[in-house]
């Protein structure tokens, strides 16, 4: 199973691999970069049920992204046009 977290030391999302039930080992497997260059706090995240695990993340409405967890591929980017 994979687990996605956000938080210090930077604004990236951390992807963790959870071991089998008979082990309490969790190891870091990758990071997903977020577009958080505004000095805001770390990205907020939510999971999406899909064939491949996806995560919805962003720190502002104009920087919302959906990223495929295993490949770290950006699947969708949404934002507010103009102000």
Per-residue pLDDT, 50: 62
Write the burial class of residue 40 (CB in 10 Å: 0-12 exposed, 13-18 middle, 19+ buried): middle
Per-residue pLDDT, 66: 83
Q: Tokens for 13? A: 């999302």
pLDDT tens-digit map of 32-55: 877 655 555 556 666 656 677 788
What's the DSSP call for residue 81?
-
| Domain boundaries defined on the chain | 2-78
Helix (H, G, I), strand (E, B) or coil at 21: coil
0.75 cut: is pTM over it?
Answer: no
* Cα Rg, the chain, nearest whole Å: 14
Per-residue pLDDT, 23: 75
């Amino acid at each position: 199973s994979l687990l996605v977290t956000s938080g210090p030391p930077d604004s990236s999302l951390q992807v963790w691999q959870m071991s089998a039930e008979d082990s309490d080992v969790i190891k870091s497997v990758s990071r997903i970069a977020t577009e958080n260059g505004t000095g805001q706090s770390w990205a907020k995240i939510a999971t999406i049920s899909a064939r491949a695990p996806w995560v919805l993340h962003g720190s502002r409405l104009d920087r919302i992204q959906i990223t495929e967890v295993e490949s770290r591929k950006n699947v969708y980017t949404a934002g507010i046009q103009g102000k």
